[in-house]
Structure 1
Amino acid sequence: MKHLTRYLLLICGLLTTNLNAEPSQLIKAFSASAEFTDIQISPTGEYLGGITIDKTEDKRALIILDLKTMKPSYIANFDGKGEVGAYHWVNDERVVLQKTYKQERIETSAYYGEMLAVNADGSKPKYIFGYKGDGRASGGTSIKKSAPIQATSYMLDTLQDEEDDILVMAYPWTGTNHAITQIYRVDVYSGKRKKLASSPVQNAGFLVDHNQNVRFSYSQDEKLNDLLYYFDESQDQWVPGDKFRGDLQEFRPIAFTADDKSIYAIGAKENETRAIYQIDIATGKQQKIIQHPIVDPNELWIDQKTKELYAVEFENGHPEYEFLDKQSTKAKVLKQLMAAIPDHRIHIVSETQDGEKLIIIAMNDKNPGDYYLFDSKKLKLKYLFAQKSWLDPALMAEVKPISFTARDGKELHGYLTLPNGKELKNLPLVVNPHGGPHGPRDNWVFNSENQLLAQHGIAVLQVNFRGSGGYGPKFEEEGYQQWGAKIQYDIIDATQYAIDQGWANKDKICISGASFGGYSALMAPMIAPDMYKCAVGTAGVYDLEELHDSGDIPKSYSGGAFLEQVLGNNVESLRAMSPTHNVDKLKAAVLLLHGEEDIRAPMEQFDAMEAALNKANYPYEKKIWDKSGHGFYTPESREIYYETMLSFIKKNLAL
């Protein structure tokens, strides 16, 4: 760990002491992976766990610290290509962790469903679930064999009142992309397991009540229809849960009330935002508990001890909280923390079984995240770690929520990243459309790429265009089959709004995005060719006909139905909305960035765009990463990406 700390302190010095340092030093600072993530406290509060990067092998490891001394009691690592994925404390001494594998051809790790357990001091390691029963921990410690199972597993419930057992949700390997989900009770010391239930539908999730009974199963079919089942103990079988859903769209059960007689669920009535409902299990009667008029719930906070929902986070500009019971212990704690660390988003990420000690993370637009230990009995707050200690929040750029009216009268929302120390007037601007487009949205968060641009005096504009998630099903559906029309008009209108406000220099505007943002980075300048001086498409989709045939979406369980829903099959419309068929409208300088191992927007997409540009004899620049997929997942790849993107933008904006 010492060499890792020295490395990070070096970066910290480069950035925090001199923001006028060499560009490569700034890029390195913003490219570096987080020092610590996923900090969790053990049930009795004796230990802390956290994921860190072993720099000698560039692999994820789990470090367990004695909370009193803050010295390591054990570092969980794997030989060869193995590394640590997610992990969970299951009792006072024992941790269950996923084993993932670094791949040869691509930068991301793969998870094949293997779960292992080990004590906080490194003793009694055991392979408890997975397709093979052998393995070896770092240092040569043998892991005893467990019966193999051909399935990908995930933690369903740690069963806090049980010392030895957990509930595991497993997706059997069927050779297809769908399977009946199974639930097992697994002993974390011996690896012995007992099958408890199978889902009534494929690819299902589950909800467990306070008595460890699996009561609800939910999923979607291949046509994207929501499926909900309830386990009726009187009939000893799964029955359709239509009486609970009623007329709600996109219904999902999320937690039981304390008496197990009702559930909390999220859903939406027609033309409304998603809301939280309480539903009586005996009668199916619904009661709306919490709803925001503009945005959906952004986060749902469930007490780890009682499993009750106690708070809902919304984000209409800045984050705000609503409490189901304002007098509950957790509600009071969260309010105390918000007062102690103002102007931050506060998340309780882990707690002891008695609820007295909590691990929280505090984040905002300038701070990627600080971890604290809060003693709710003594009302003491102790700083633990920063995710990226070498970045000084005081030197970062503000992210300002904005709202504006689109050309058809629709109110839209977004964010403007403001270069620190610069007057908000006549600034060079990069427009950064988010990916998706359906489901994701932009939030008030720290964004390394946007912060890097801001350090070079460039403002960054983000807009939650029609089709974005987070504003209700109707808002999302308004973007269906409008990828090259209304969605792009929203992006263009947001750009014009920034110009009209005097914020942006109309002669110094670029657009840069990844995935669907890469599509928009090429498509928006084709619709508004005089608005953008340059366009950076990263991992973009450029030929919508090709999207129906290549990549992982059409091969997935409901991918065909999804593409038909959001794009349609009209060839003329698909071509009209494809950058590959609209090169003649371009005026902007173009940079294409892509990973050869991308399966979401495969190289066929890049090849089609390159061929169209070549056919039109249109100049462009490009860079290909041989091991990158749908994004850049290592510091080295991010450094090259940031350097290439930043250099191109500065050159074309004459900065």
Structure 2
Amino acid sequence: MIKYFLAGLATMAGLAHAAPPVQQFFESAHYKDAKLSPSGRYLALRVGSNEARDSVLVFDNESLKVVGGGRLADYDVGTIRWVNDNRLLYTVADSTVATGDKRFAPGLYAMSRDGKENRQLAEHRFSGSGTGSHIKSRLEPWNTFLMDEEGAQDSDTVYVERPIWSERAGYEIERTELVKLNTATGQSVTLSHPGNAEGWMLDHKGEPSILVAAKDGRETIYYRNADGEWREIATQAAYGSDMDAIAPIGFYDDKHLLVKTRMKGDKAALYLMNLGTGKLDPSPLVAMADFDFNGSMVYSKKRLVGLHYLADARSSAWFDPALKAAQAEVDKQLGGMVNIITPPTQPETDWLLVVSYSDRQPRFYSVYNSKTHELKGLGSARPDIKSSEMGRQDFVKYRARDGLEVPAWLTLPAKEGKKLPMVVLVHGGPYVRGNEWGWNAESQFLASRGYAVLAPEFRGSTGYGMKLFDAGLKQWGLKMQHDIADSVKWAVEKGIADPARICIMGGSYGGYATLMGLINDPSLYRCGIAYAAVTDIPLQYSSGMAVLSDLPSDYKAYGVPVLVGDLEKDAAQFIATSPLQQAARIKRPLLLAHGTDDRRVPVPHYNKLRSALTDAKADAEFIEYVGEGHGWSTLKTRLDFWGRVEKFLDKHIGPNANQ
């Protein structure tokens, strides 16, 4: 099977001709997710296509024959999860309708491995809150969701989360309950706990052991001991730059919690916390020079065997010698790829799951036998993508005008070249990490059309240390905007970009930054593309938008003043940095798109700016996608939007641009 896999990669390296069609980049992935059964004997693979609903297939890893699985006629299979070696859970979705047309929740179903038994466990149509804590034997209410952790996978029971929406504040989640659910009988019970629960975490044995509660801009972390008693282990500010704040990541063993913290340093690292004393080890378990620690624990046989983490790309650190050796062998067989291996939780076989990718190669799924060293290829998420037609991605750094070092991601077309037309791709958030090394549909689509793509991790971005994040506080339209402009100047000075052919583009906060780029730096940008864009800061956070917006009131009350600014004290700054208020200054061509059912940035942002731009006789194209939310959920919308993007760029900075 390894020969088949390598042959597949060789085919992907064939000669490029015409630019790949837009659909290859933005259609739903063919192979979407894979989960190894607890014993390692079976693999559940979620698959789909443009012609068929997503389904789950169960393979026997020895023969790679399909031995089970299933689908629903009117829905796509969503997230899949093993309960034990004989039973799986899955949620449902519908990729054919836009966000505003969806009238159901993910729901929850259990099925036998062979697919012959299929039991609905939770509603997927809205039907009340279902907040009771008594034992019940009926369908769970619609607001029942899988946890991030897989759990013990050694019985018929799982833990699920139940967000409770406030009756007073529209879409706001008031608290999140934890429910223990028997997937065979359908009976459930709600776990008692202290505080106003916001998030939960299971330990290495699959039991709920960490609770994060939030109130009035503060969060409290509780630990549940072996006797079932909850004990407070930390309280800290929920927003801002608390250097002593900790974030629970996982369990090292029964006595030690793994936490992410800075310990007065710039980069967050992984430390051991003694649960008895509450003290942290003085030296980190994992620390990186350029990145904050961001990762998850890997457990097998109810013990910590390693961890997956993100630096520039994803990687793994293994404490188990056998898994360390398996990683080395897989990396040898699949050189030039990032290879993430995952062991079974209750291993009875030697099979491991392998997910491989590179900057030019979308994810490819395989299984590896650690005893025989046999690697069996299963398939690619995007089999039509040819790596030879994809661009190279590099992690770069540049200096902002005040001397701050800013990271960025540069993707060049496959043919590369100098003084290329360039798209500055601004991430949303903004207080998130924007990118990582790997195949990215948006960047690669633009690169396949001959554009250099520069994605700056401007100040305020997370994942690169507290100094970069802290420098972005209250800097919307100011120093955050300067960083984006300075990335353009860097690319021009390096000979990468043609200064006369640069366009700025982004969604959400990235849309806001696009609009402010056209306002502040019209000499740098030939055009702009903004979608789902914040067009006015007070409009986004005012109480008048509460009915439409899904932003929590706690974030508006305590997060916004720290991160963005005070709506009253900083009113003058918000006017100066408002695309809506400064719309008459937008003189460059603009493509503006929005979904009518966007709850994160409600459609009045778009409507008001459209009116202002129309009054100013701006050179703007407007697209309104009925039913779409904060981003494009249907293939029809994605193809339409990116087709318009291609034509817009070609007209203004591409081969057919009027210079």
TM tier relative to shorter chain: 0.7 to 0.9
Q: Is the 8 A contact 1:178 1:202 kept in 2?
A: no
Q: Is the 8 A contact 2:589 2:618 kept in 1?
A: no
AA paired with 1:364?
A: S
The structure 1 residue matched to 2:387, chosen from 388, 393, 415, is 393
Q: Equivalents in 2 of 1:403, 1:525: separation in Å?
A: 24
Which residue does 2:564 correspond to in 1?
567
Q: Is the 8 A contact 2:27 2:50 kept in 1?
A: no
Secondary structure, aligned partner of 1:578: coil
Secondary structure, aligned partner of 1:217: strand
Q: Equivalents in 2 of 1:555, 1:313: separation in Å?
A: 29
Instruction: Point out the more displaced range, 349-358 or 520-529.
Output: 349-358
Which residue does 1:597 correspond to in 2?
597
Q: Is the 8 A contact 1:244 1:281 kept in 2?
A: no
Q: Is the 8 A contact 1:181 1:199 kept in 2?
A: no
* Alignment of 1:35 onto 2:30: yes
Q: Is the 8 A contact 2:40 2:343 kept in 1?
A: no
Q: Is the 8 A contact 1:156 1:168 kept in 2?
A: no
Which residue does 1:274 correspond to in 2?
268
The structure 1 residue matched to 2:375, chosen from 374, 381, 404, is 381
**Cα deviation code 1:94-148 (max 9, x no counterpart):** 10112345686537867636322111212232223458899xxxxxxxxxx8354
Q: Is the 8 A contact 1:438 1:469 kept in 2?
A: yes
Which residue does 1:296 correspond to in 2?
292
The structure 2 residue matched to 1:431, chosen from 424, 434, 446, is 424
Q: Is the 8 A contact 1:553 1:559 kept in 2?
A: no
Compare relative contact order (CA 8 Å, sep 6+) and give the higher one, 1 or 2.
Answer: 2
Q: Equivalents in 2 of 1:321, 1:449: separation in Å?
A: 23
**Cα deviation code 1:21-44 (max 9, x no counterpart):** 4x6x61122222110111122223
Q: Percent identity?
A: 24
Report how far residue 591 of structure 1 moved. Answer: 1.1
1:144-223 mapped onto 2 (5 Å cutoff): 146-149=138-141, 151-155=143-147, 159-160=151-152, 162-172=154-164, 175=167, 177-210=172-205, 212-223=206-217
| Count of matched residue positions in the alignment of Structure 1 and Structure 2 | 621
Q: Which runs of 5+ in 2 are unaligned?
A: 1-9, 128-136
AA paired with 1:573?
A: Q
Report how far residue 324 of structure 1 moved. Answer: 6.5
* Alignment of 1:410 onto 2:407: no
Which residue does 1:261 correspond to in 2?
255
Which residue does 2:436 correspond to in 1?
443
Which residue does 1:513 correspond to in 2?
506
Q: Which runs of 5+ in 1 are unaligned?
A: 1-11, 135-144
Secondary structure, aligned partner of 2:375: strand
AA paired with 2:280?
A: Q
Q: Equivalents in 2 of 1:33, 1:147: separation in Å?
A: 30
Which residue does 2:90 correspond to in 1?
97
The structure 2 residue matched to 1:77, chosen from 71, 74, 92, is 71
AA paired with 2:529?
A: V
AA paired with 1:226?
A: E
Q: Is the 8 A contact 1:596 1:624 kept in 2?
A: yes
Q: Is the 8 A contact 1:50 1:63 kept in 2?
A: yes
Which residue does 1:237 correspond to in 2?
229
**Cα deviation code 1:350-394 (max 9, x no counterpart):** 636217211111112111211111111222222111000110112
Q: Equivalents in 2 of 1:49, 1:619: separation in Å?
A: 51
AA paired with 2:163?
A: Y
Secondary structure, aligned partner of 2:54: strand
Report how far residue 349 of structure 1 moved. Answer: 4.6
Q: Equivalents in 1 of 2:270, 2:534: separation in Å?
A: 35
Secondary structure, aligned partner of 2:313: strand
Report how far residue 199 of structure 1 moved. Answer: 4.9
Which residue does 1:44 correspond to in 2?
39
AA paired with 1:586?
A: I
**Cα deviation code 1:459-500 (max 9, x no counterpart):** 111111001111123422321210101111000000000000
1:618-633 mapped onto 2 (5 Å cutoff): 618-633=618-633
Change (3 A) 1:244 1:202: closer
Q: Equivalents in 2 of 1:241, 1:125: separation in Å?
A: 42
Q: Equivalents in 1 of 2:243, 2:162: separation in Å?
A: 29
Which residue does 1:284 correspond to in 2?
278
Report how far residue 262 of structure 1 moved. Answer: 1.0
Secondary structure, aligned partner of 2:627: coil
The structure 2 residue matched to 1:347, chosen from 336, 340, 344, is 340
Q: Equivalents in 1 of 2:225, 2:138: separation in Å?
A: 33
Which residue does 1:88 correspond to in 2?
81
Change (3 A) 1:504 1:147: closer
Report how far residue 157 of structure 1 moved. Answer: 5.8
Instruction: Point out the more displaced range, 409-418 or 631-640.
Output: 631-640
Which residue does 1:552 correspond to in 2?
549
Q: Equivalents in 1 of 2:95, 2:26: separation in Å?
A: 20
Report how far residue 253 of structure 1 moved. Answer: 1.8
Q: Equivalents in 2 of 1:230, 1:276: separation in Å?
A: 18
Change (3 A) 1:186 1:492: same
Report how far residue 337 of structure 1 moved. Answer: 2.5
Change (3 A) 1:291 1:309: farther
Q: Equivalents in 2 of 1:85, 1:131: separation in Å?
A: 12
Instruction: Point out the more displaced range, 555-564 or 101-110.
Output: 101-110
Change (3 A) 1:174 1:127: farther
Q: Equivalents in 2 of 1:173, 1:182: separation in Å?
A: 11
Q: Equivalents in 2 of 1:156, 1:645: separation in Å?
A: 35
Q: Is the 8 A contact 2:526 2:589 kept in 1?
A: yes
Q: Equivalents in 1 of 2:526, 2:149: separation in Å?
A: 52
The structure 2 residue matched to 1:481, chosen from 474, 491, 513, is 474
Q: Is the 8 A contact 1:433 1:517 kept in 2?
A: yes
AA paired with 1:38?
A: D
Q: Is the 8 A contact 2:28 2:50 kept in 1?
A: no
The structure 1 residue matched to 2:526, chosen from 533, 543, 554, is 533
Which residue does 1:499 correspond to in 2?
492
Q: Equivalents in 2 of 1:387, 1:275: separation in Å?
A: 32
AA paired with 1:182?
A: E
**Cα deviation code 1:239-282 (max 9, x no counterpart):** 2213999x864422222223x11111112234521110001111
Instruction: Point out the more displaced range, 558-567 or 65-74.
Output: 65-74
Change (3 A) 1:239 1:409: same
Secondary structure, aligned partner of 2:593: strand
Q: Is the 8 A contact 1:274 1:296 kept in 2?
A: yes
Q: Is the 8 A contact 2:58 2:69 kept in 1?
A: yes
Q: Is the 8 A contact 1:133 1:148 kept in 2?
A: no
Q: Equivalents in 2 of 1:427, 1:213: separation in Å?
A: 54
Which residue does 2:580 correspond to in 1?
580
Q: Is the 8 A contact 2:356 2:363 kept in 1?
A: yes
Q: Equivalents in 2 of 1:169, 1:374: separation in Å?
A: 33
AA paired with 2:54?
A: R
Q: Is the 8 A contact 2:529 2:590 kept in 1?
A: yes
Instruction: Point out the more displaced range, 453-462 or 548-557.
Output: 548-557
Which residue does 1:5 correspond to in 2?
none
Q: Equivalents in 2 of 1:16, 1:88: separation in Å?
A: 34
TM-score for the superposition, normalised by structure 1 = 0.87
AA paired with 2:38?
A: P
Q: Is the 8 A contact 2:41 2:351 kept in 1?
A: no
Change (3 A) 1:610 1:350: farther
